[in-house]
Amino acid sequence: MERSVKKLKLITSVETLKQAIVLHKSNLDRTIIHQRDERLAETSDNEEFRTRTTLEDSDDQELHLEELLSEFEENCAARGGDSIVFYTTSIGGVRKTFEDCRKVRFLLENHKVSFRERDISMNCEFKEELWKLLGKKVTPPRLFIKCRYIGGAEEVVALNENGKLKKLLEGISSAVRSRRCDRCENERFLMCWNCNGRSRVVAEDGMWKRCKECNENGLVKCALCT
């Protein structure tokens, strides 16, 4: 009889323990589900916040760039558009002018952006184009970014030092290292085939006249890389 009572108590204890385990497991499942839902909600909120912040930052950056561009005179070089046009000279006759051109070119190359380089010493049309843009005779270097006149070497160097140049160059396509031009070796000009670089030809009357195929230096633009 005593053994039966002990056995009954043991069975009761086991059943109670089973019920407690089931109840604990149920509570644990509810806790896990609740925590999972909280994490999902938090993740969703974070994603929404990051997306909203990214969009706001993008809008702020675009607005800041527009404000920065508005500080400069609107003046669009031919075929400039949203690109960079850099008027320079490759002649080192005036040392300061030559060194200033090298400074600006170095900064542009250092920022790894593509730009249109127009050497006024190689083509008089570029010089006349520059003078017409600024309404007076000026010496290079002169830089135009996104149809805005930025200035000469002094202005460009100052903008680079205060971080504004990097901002102005946002959105400009990156420079691509292309293979060397087999025709002009990246000089962008070739000696005129019509006058052999003399810029003059002999007319039918035996008199010299200006060659119509080239510029004043007896050069023509390379058709492969310009």
Residue 121 is encoded by which pair of tokens? 């010493």
pLDDT in tens, 17-54: 566 666 656 666 666 666 676 676 666 555 655 555 44
CB 121 within 8 A of CB 93: no
Identify the H or E element spanning 88: strand 84-88
C-alpha span between 104 and 127 (Å, rounded): 18
Stretch 154-180: mean pLDDT? 82
Q: What is the pLDDT of residues 75-118, one digit of tens each?
A: 888 777 778 999 999 887 778 999 999 999 999 999 999 888 89
Q: Which residue has the tokens 């058709």?
A: 223
pTM equals 0.61
Question: Which helix (H) or strand (E) covers residue 75, if one does?
Answer: none
